[in-house]
Amino acid sequence: MNILEPETDDLVRHAGLARMAEVAVAAVTHVPAAKLRGPGRGQPAIARARQMAMYLAHVAFGLSLTRVGICFGRDRTTVRHACALIEDRRDDPALEFALAALEAGLLALTGSLSAATRAEARS
């Protein structure tokens, strides 16, 4: 048994969760997911969408700021700044509704995926 397996499994799982947040935000904002991973800041709409995705990865899935940064190719301080910006913008009822709906949907999807994986492992 490789002693690195649990850590590798966590890395892959965390990257998958970050991608789920990214794809969900891309679908809602109509920003291509690939642009969220782009090397630069991009246009304001792209930056805001990336900030939302990083925020959801951190808040909904409990990924550390460092891990979110790794998944999005950003520094943890950039993720912290993005999370603070999004948290400050949650006073806007439309954004609050969108984030709450995205978070609930992501958590429901990951819950159903986990249940399906457990059922498959038993059979």
**H helix or E strand, kind and range, residue 31:** none
Helix then strand then coil, % of the chain, to nearest 5: 80, 0, 20
Name the domain count of the chain: 1
Write the pLDDT tens digit of every residue in 7-35. 677 889 999 999 999 999 999 999 999 89
DSSP 8-state assignment for residue 64: -
Query: Which band of pLDDT confidence, cut at 50, 70 and 90, is reported for residue 41?
Result: confident
DSSP 8-state assignment for residue 43: S
Instruction: Tell me the residue range of the domain where 108 lies.
Output: 5-122
The domain that holds 110 is classified in CATH as 1.10.1750.10
Write the pLDDT tens digit of every residue in 59-71. 999 999 999 999 9
Report the distance separating Cα 118 and Cα 123, nearest Å. 9
